[in-house]
Amino acid sequence: MSNISKSLYCNYIQCKKQIWLNKYKPEEYIETKNESVMENGNEVGDLARRYFGNYSLVKFNEVLIKMIMETKEYLKQNKSVICEASFKFDNLFASIDILKIDDDGVNIYEVKSSTEVKDIYKDDASFQAYILKKLGYKVKSVNIMHLNSFYEFKDELDLKELFSIEDITSLSIKKESEIEENVKEINEILDSEKEPDIDLDIHCFKPYDCPFFKYCSKHIKDNNVFEIRGMTINKKIDLYKKGLINFEDLINEKLNDKYLEQMDYRLHDKEPKINKDKIKLFLSTLKEPLYFLDFETYQDAIPKYNGQRVYGQVPFQYSLHYYENNELKHKEFLSEPDIDPRRSLAEQLVKDIPTNVDVLAYNMSFEKGVIKSLSNIYPDLSESLMKIHDNIKDLMIPFYNRDYYVKEMDGSYSIKYVLPALFPNDKELDYHNLDMVHNGGEAMDTFKKLGTLSKKEQEIVRNNLLKYCKLDTYAMVKIYQKLKEIE
């Protein structure tokens, strides 16, 4: 019999076929979680251990019995908080993030780096409680410990405020008979060489994107419902279940005009659509000389600077192109690593951008949000920052409204689609030609690691970060010029 861990149990709750594929076709697995999500999880888990004061930690070991023995040893020593406390009943195994031991029973704390409690977390913690009860422990409480989205850092980290705890004890009791049945079924699935016959459904995306989606969707061809941009996953599944899968079938349905347009352009190789009047109207709202602004930010699950919220954006870099006497010029900012970058960035920003000029951003809600939060933190700079904020206009509008659309945009108005669609053969505007940093996610991960590098390596990495961000605003300049050619 295979071991059933808490993660296998949760995979089963999402989809029975997933656990079978994990065992019999692991080569079909395609990772869906990114690096920073996993790093956040580790950081939050490490911090949560300190919530109840001193603790004993069971070290990870691939030989599970060693973890179980170490747990037993701590229990014998009457330790009151054991992290990664490990238990086995039959073939069921669980390491409990935090086990708090009172005189009259034990308390389970499952730690999550999210700011909300998903149903799957409740299944996870209930499974752990089930094992402990089967082993004869008195489980006093079962809890989900997660980040409090309202927490704001002030002077020092307050763990009691940073974490929220949801007690799910009564639910976990209700789930006991369900777990009993589920365990039987899991054993049957894993013992059988026959692949479960389960079709695509909402479970392929919720609670997590399934790593076997490519394998399970190999029966559907390109130009299918899952490629429609902007449509909710519930709607896609609804259409899929009705047999409306291919663009050829979907194009005759009553759907949002934007979805129909994406399909129409792909299927019929249509000519570009340019609504000259609307574009002229948009351009008439802009006052030259223009400034083109783009920020790079990173997110910390655990805030570390005053005024920073859980998962708050911290701007560390910007690029600024602008015209002076009809000449294109450039300014930029990139913080040193491992310091709070916000004050020096805000100070330079108010020096670099006059308060009476129009500023263009692409998808301006992001840039506006960053400036607004800087203005809240630094009241002395607030007036200047908010003037810049109020002068921001959005270059995305003509593309968002589909006043300019070519088939290569493929239903997207993101600059990463719009730019190559407008300048297909321009190597200077091709992000693939950059070294190391090609998108915002890579910029964030690269900057976060900057402080760990040697001076020489830092210089190279900084240079690549600067080139990347500079291309973002240069791309905006080129898009603006392209729109002006239409006039």
Binding site for ligand SF4 (CB under 6 A): 15, 17-18, 21, 198, 200, 203-204, 210, 212-213, 216
Could you tell me the smallest distance in angstroms from the CB atom of residue 295 to ligand SF4? 36
Contact between 415 and 404 under an 8 Å Cβ cutoff? The reply is: no
* Tokens standing for residue 98: 């935090």
* Amino acid at residue number 399: F
Helices (H), strands (E): how many in the chain? Answer: 20, 13
Least separation in angstroms between residue 231's CB and ligand SF4 is 18
**H or E segment at 246?**
none
Cβ 183 to ligand SF4 shortest distance, Å:
19
Task: Give the residue with the Cβ less far from ligand SF4, 15 or 144.
Answer: 15
Provide the minimum distance between the beta carbon of 14 and ligand SF4 in the complex, in angstroms, as a whole number.
6
Distance CA 56, CA 99 (A): 10
**End-to-end Cα separation, the chain, in angstroms:** 72
Given the complex with ligand SF4, which of 135 and 202 has the nearer CB atom? Answer: 202
Q: CB of 204: closest distance to ligand SF4 in angstroms?
A: 3
Shortest separation between residue 216's beta carbon and ligand SF4, angstroms: 3
Contacts of 414 (CB under 8 A, 6+ apart): 363
| C-alpha distances out from residue 254 to 145, 149, 250, Å | 45, 39, 8
Q: How far is the CB of 2 from ligand SF4 (least distance, A)?
A: 17
Q: Which is nearer to ligand SF4, 176 or 195 (CB)?
A: 195
Closest CB to ligand SF4 among 119 and 390?
119
Q: Judged by CB, which is closer to ligand SF4: 220, or 377?
A: 220
Q: Which is nearer to ligand SF4, 102 or 209 (CB)?
A: 209
Give dist(CA 222, CA 416) in Å, integer.
21
Asked if the peptide bond before residue 379 counts as cis, ω within 30 degrees of 0, the response is no
Distances (CA, A) of 378 to 44, 169, 297, 314, 350: 28, 44, 18, 14, 12
CB of 268 to ligand SF4, least distance (A): 31
Check residue 211 and give left, alpha or beta (phi > 0: left; psi -120 to 50: alpha): alpha
Instruction: Give the residue with the Cβ less far from ligand SF4, 24 or 480.
Output: 24
Edge-to-edge strand ranges of the sheet holding 392-394: 327-334, 313-324, 291-299, 359-361, 392-394
Q: How far is the CB of 219 from ligand SF4 (least distance, A)?
A: 11
Nearer CB in complex with ligand SF4: 111/200: 200
The Cα 262–Cα 247 span in angstroms is 10
Task: Name the one residue in this structure whose structure tokens are 């019929």.
Answer: 268
Between 99 and 210, CB nearer to ligand SF4: 210
- Comparison of 189 and 314: residue with beta carbon closer to ligand SF4: 189
Question: CA 143 → CA 6, 21, 170, 217, 321, distances in Å?
Answer: 15, 31, 10, 37, 51
Chain position carrying tokens 């600067």: 466
The 3-state secondary structure of 415-434, one letter per residue: HHHHHHHHCCCCHHHCHHHC
Beta carbon of residue 307, minimum distance to ligand SF4 (angstroms, whole number): 41
